[in-house]
Amino acid sequence: MSEVEYRSSGAPLDGYELTRKDHRRQKQSEEISERVRQQVDEDNAKCRADPARAERRRQAFEDAARLMQSFKKQDHEIMRWRVRLYCGHIIETEAHYTYSDPVSAGAHSNRCPECSSDGLTIVAFEPLGLRAEPPAPAIPPPPVPPKKPTRAELERRVKALEEENERLRSQAPLEGAPTSSSKDS
């Protein structure tokens, strides 16, 4: 697993005073949520009016759900985070370990299980650790020693080398190369 430097922002367990930035982010989150609700309502109305469109949407949702299931991550790939929500309540959330913070992982807003408020922005967070320890690296198996050749394989190899040697000896000597007759003179 690659090393990721996890960030903290504020201290979720300490007293926390909301900042102007927190109020602005919460307002933007609420505006975005409202616009998304409007778009969903419009799309639902179109689907009620067009059964073929409704069937295409249902199929697209099923395909997306199957795809998401195929990317199931192992416990050692999930980072746990303690976050303080805009409402002041503290919850735990999770994200893939490759993200340095829960906001980068897409957890811009959450539903609070204590006050049931929805779309609450995260105002402070800190990493808690992976859900499980990574498995120990697999020890590679010892190298397999090369197989000893059989007597028949060795005899074939010797014969092939003898034929190669004979062929090389029978080739005409290269021009300019000393010959046995040039040595005698």
At 70, the pLDDT band (50, 70, 90 cuts) reads confident
Q: From residue 79, how far is each of 1, 26, 137 by CA, in Å? A: 13, 24, 20
Place of tokens 């397999």: 144
Confidence of residue 177 (pLDDT cuts 50, 70, 90): low
What integer pLDDT is reported at residue 134 of this predicted model? Answer: 82
- Spatial strand order of the sheet with 109-110 comes to 90-96, 78-85, 120-130, 109-110
Q: What is the mean pLDDT of the chain?
A: 85
Residue 126's pLDDT band (cuts 50, 70, 90)? very high
pLDDT per position as a tens digit, 1-55: 558 888 888 888 888 889 999 999 899 988 988 999 999 999 999 888 998 988 9
Four-point Cα dihedral 76, 82, 83, 89, nearest 10 = 140
Asked whether the whole model's pTM tops 0.75, one would answer: no
The answer for residues whose C-beta is within 8 angstroms of residue 4's C-beta and 6 or more apart is 97, 98, 99, 100
Rounded-to-integer distance, Cα 161 and Cα 152, Å: 14
> To 5 degrees, how large is the angle CA 7–CA 9–CA 13?
115
Residues 144, 94 contacting (CB under 8 angstroms): no
* Residue 67 clears pLDDT 90, i.e. is over it: no
Once rounded to an integer, what is the mean pLDDT over residues 46-72? 88
